[in-house]
Amino acid sequence: MKARALIGLLGIHMKKKFLITGFEPFDKDTTNPSGDWINWMNSRNSFCNREICGVILPVKFNGGFSEFKKFYDEFCPDMVILTGLAKNRKELTVERIGINWVDARIPDNDGITITSQKIDVSGPDALFTTIDIDKLISLANSAGCVLKLSTSAGEYVCNELLYKVLCYLQDKKTPATFIHLPGLENYDGTYLALETIVNGL
């Protein structure tokens, strides 16, 4: 029996562990609100019953997932929340699926542009995210923020990370989701909504 399961049986309360990721800037931007949210979160003390590991990932094909895996294997989280920027969206969106496809319009931060190909030639075509979407939406609403459902995380680095993470976690059964931040002037309300989500899950 795993140590955490035994401790649970003994009734000892342990903090739920969250691995939360954002991305570094890309496409000539100097900031990425998803990375800024990780820094914002790491600087706060408002996650009383949560143990948080916040990580900013590189916007690099293959690079994001290998960095994620390193932290996942070391931290062994109970839940995974991936975030990134979708500049052309107006609202916070939660992704339903990761697809087995990459078709980049712009290079990643190594200057690499991967077009029209499967992420994993022998992998499933798509995988569903595994944190209850209705619950995420109602938690965001309770913080006064609109969170909409999205059925496409795009065909760039965010979708590549999401797909690889969902594949990796399939047999581990760790719930995982992806939330895209919109393009906004001010992210105060967005960060508070994300904090409410983490504290409510």
Q: Shortest distance, CB of residue 59 to ligand PCA, whole angstroms?
A: 5
Site for ligand PCA in 92-151 (CB under 6 A): none
- Candidate list 145, 155, 158, 195, residue with the active-site label: 158
Residue 180 is among the residues annotated as catalytic for this protein? yes
Residue 95 is among the residues annotated as catalytic for this protein? yes
Distance between CA atoms of residues 33 and 40, nearest Å: 10
Query: What is the identity of the amino acid at 126?
Result: A
In this chain, which of 54, 98, 154, 182 binds ligand PCA, going by CB under 6 A? 154
Distance between CA atoms of residues 142 and 193, nearest Å: 8
Considering the complex, state which of residue 27 and residue 78 has its C-beta at the smaller distance from ligand PCA.
27
Residue 13 is among the residues annotated as catalytic for this protein? no
- Contact region for ligand PCA (CB under 6 A) — 11-19, 79-87, 131-139, 188-196? 79-87
Q: What is the DSSP string of 79-126?
A: EEEEEEEETT-SSEEEESEEES-B--SS--TTS----SB-SSTTS-SE
Q: Shortest distance, CB of residue 103 to ligand PCA, whole angstroms?
A: 11
φ/ψ (deg, to 5) at 21: -120, 150
- The 8-47 site mask, x for binding ligand PCA (CB under 6 A), equals ---------------x--x-----x-x-------------
Distance between CA atoms of residues 31 and 58, nearest Å: 13
SS3 content of the chain, % helix, strand, coil (to 5): 35, 25, 45
Considering the complex, state which of residue 103 and residue 132 has its C-beta at the smaller distance from ligand PCA.
103
Give the active site residues.
Answer: 95, 158, 180
